[in-house]
Structure 1
């Protein structure tokens, strides 16, 4: 049996089960007003079906993880495809744990879309099993990466609950500056999520159409002895090049709606792996996301948060805040162990130093300090309600920049994760 192919099939099954689960949770949230049953009966019925689908999807996802591990010969967390699929599986595990504790049927309507987006994002990267580079070929890889991802997964559930809380409490009848500011930033949070969906729409649309442009890029590096080394490589684009790689020439350019050359080159200070191509992807994601948001606004004729809010009126905001806080409180020590303590032990083994100010190390420390401040402000300074919720939402944006943005902006020892 080809275990890698079997794992890919299990991954597809998990994805469709997650989608079906989200649909059930969406029916539980949005359909209760049109049900002949009591609202709470409707929510419980479809919520239980959705949760069962989520558990079944997680089991399929777990099957994917272990069969790929067995078929590939190493734990599947060594590149962006494998790490993001593991992160999605960890978020589902965190959601299941939090759901079993609090029995909130509606949290899945916000947690499942996040998992689906991350799974879809992982599918953008090459899915072939790649051999481990020497620095990764150690058992501390299993300990460091899995615990760090599990901590981030609980942060993600805290983010989902906090976003629900913000949408639930925003007052659209207020016309003062404070009220409008709350409405704007709540809507902006949803726009960020829609931009992520726009990224998926853009990538899969152009990939399905077979779009490709190619550039030849020359990269010059200076070694420790001051000697310049030149490397020439081809960079393939699956989206129309608005931004070309820095210091590159065109090999082939597929025209798109009259655009037969790039608009500008990537700035030289973007040092991440394939930074020009990634910046181009970010720009297309924003364009596609804003177009998608505009279409949704035309259909709804009011802010998206204002469409969602009436379906959350039966939820107590204090319950959502408790879920968010408890999720982060669980995730914080796990993340601290995985992303800092275990990471430093592994760094000593792999690179003979505990700390080297690598960009990913720095941002892991920033994430740790941020959530330390969150817990301090909530426990010692009494920051609760919307202030606590906003801290949880912003915190997860810091996590996502640590996972994705660092590879775009700065090159470092962890840049292999962007391949």
Structure 2
């Protein structure tokens, strides 16, 4: 039996189910605006149907996880594809827990897209089962990564609740300086989401078209006896190379919109043969986000946040505030165990030290400190409402930079997770 094929099909099924469940959640809340009958009954009926369907999707994704584990021979959390799909699984599980408590269909409208984005983002990376490098051949892989992802999953639900709170309470019609500042903050948050969507879409589009550009770059490699040798390394782009690697030779480049060579070269201080490709990815992500956001603004003829905010009518801001706080309060101790305590134990076993200022370690600590400040301000200073919501939104943006930016842009001991 081909367990890996079963695993891939189960993941695809869960992805489709999540998309359908999202649409049903949308129906559950929009029906309240156009139904002349019992709007609350309509919301409960369709919300419950979407909740059950989401649970079925989670079951399918759990099947994906265990069949990949069995077919691959090791715990499937060793690369970006496996981690991001597991994070999507964890976010869905966290959402189901919070929904069972609060029964708020609009939470599904904002949480399920996060899950769908995580799985779609995972699909950007190679999905082949790869042999574990020596540092990952430990039972601490299961303990550290799974608990860290579980904590981040609850942070994601807190982010969704925080963003909903802001969409519900920010006055998008006001011209006051404070309100305009809040409006710009919401728009920037949505723009960051659109950048991720644009990146995923562009990678899938160019992969489907078979686009490729290839460079060769000479690097200095030290041998075991200490001698230095020049080695030619190949760098392949799947996105058109706006940015070429520093001091690299163009071997082959498919033409795109009349562009048959890179527009400029990566700066000299960006070391490593993949530095130019990473910068090129960042450029494409920003440009794609600007294009996508600009198109939506043209279609809606108003700020995106202002266009979305009406679906939040009828939601109690206090409920959204409570959901955001509870999600982070649950996720914080789990993240503390997984991302700090268990991580340091594993680091000592793998590298002989508890802490080494590796970029991923530093940013995990930043995330932990940020949410520690969030809880302190919430419990000791009474920071509720908008201030709490802004912290929940900013905190998860920091989490996403730790997951995406640090893994793919900054070199470090955790770089294997971006392979």
Category of TM-score, reference length = shorter chain:
over 0.9
Moved more, 198-207 or 338-347: 198-207
Specify the alignment match of 2:201 in structure 1. 201
In structure 2, C-alpha distance between the alignment counterparts of 1:400 and 1:224, rounded to whole Å: 38
Give 5+ residue unaligned stretches, structure 2. none
C-alpha distance in 2 between matches for 1:388 and 1:228? 54
Distance in 1 of aligned mates of 2:8 and 2:300: 38
Distance in 2 between the 1:209 and 1:137 partners? 37
Question: How far apart in 2 are the matches of 1:357 and 1:92?
Answer: 32
Asked if the contact 2:4–2:68 (Cα under 8 Å) also holds between the matched residues in 1, the reply is: yes
Change (3 A) 1:251 1:325: same
Query: What SS is found at the alignment partner of 2:106?
Result: coil
TM-score for both structures, normalised by structure 1: 0.96
Query: What is the CA-CA distance between 1:140 and the residue it aligns to?
Result: 0.6
TM-score, normalization: structure 2? 0.96
Give the drift of 1:366: 0.8
Q: CA deviation at 1:418?
A: 0.8
Looking at structure 2, the residues matched to 220 and 110 of structure 1 have their Cα atoms a distance apart, in angstroms, of: 48
Contact 2:25 2:46 in 1 (8 A): yes
Residue 78 of structure 1 and its aligned partner are, at CA, apart by 0.1
Task: Give the length in aligned residue pairs.
Answer: 419
Aligned residue number for residue 324 of structure 2? 324
In the aligned structure 2, how far is the partner of 1:380 from the partner of 1:216? 57
> 1:44-101: CA deviations, max 9, x gaps?
2221121112111110000000000000010100000000000110100111111111
SS at match of 1:42: helix
Q: Distance in 1 between matches of 2:304 and 2:217?
A: 42
Q: CA deviation at 1:225?
A: 9.5
1:353-408 C-alpha deviation (Å, 9 max, x unpaired)? 11111111111111111111111111111111111111111100111111111133
Residue 249 (structure 1) shift: 1.1
| Superposition deviation, residue 32 in structure 1 | 2.7
Q: Secondary structure at the match of 1:75?
A: coil
Equivalent residue, structure 2, for 1:104: 104
The residue aligned with 1:79 is 79
Given that residues 151 and 335 in structure 1 are in contact (C-alpha distance below 8 angstroms), is that contact kept between their aligned partners in structure 2? yes
Partner Cα separation in structure 2 for residue 273 and residue 378 of structure 1: 45
- Is 1:258 the counterpart of 2:258? The answer is yes
Secondary structure class of the residue paired with 1:236: strand
Deviates more, 1:269-278 or 1:79-88: 269-278
Q: 1:122-161 counterparts in 2 under 5 A?
A: 122-161=122-161
Question: In 2, Cα distance between the equivalents of 1:413 and 1:132?
Answer: 15
Aligned partner of 2:233 in structure 1 is 233
Matches within 5 A, 1:342-381: 342-381=342-381
Cα 1:210–1:178 shift into 2, 3 Å? same
Structure 2 partner of 1:167: 167
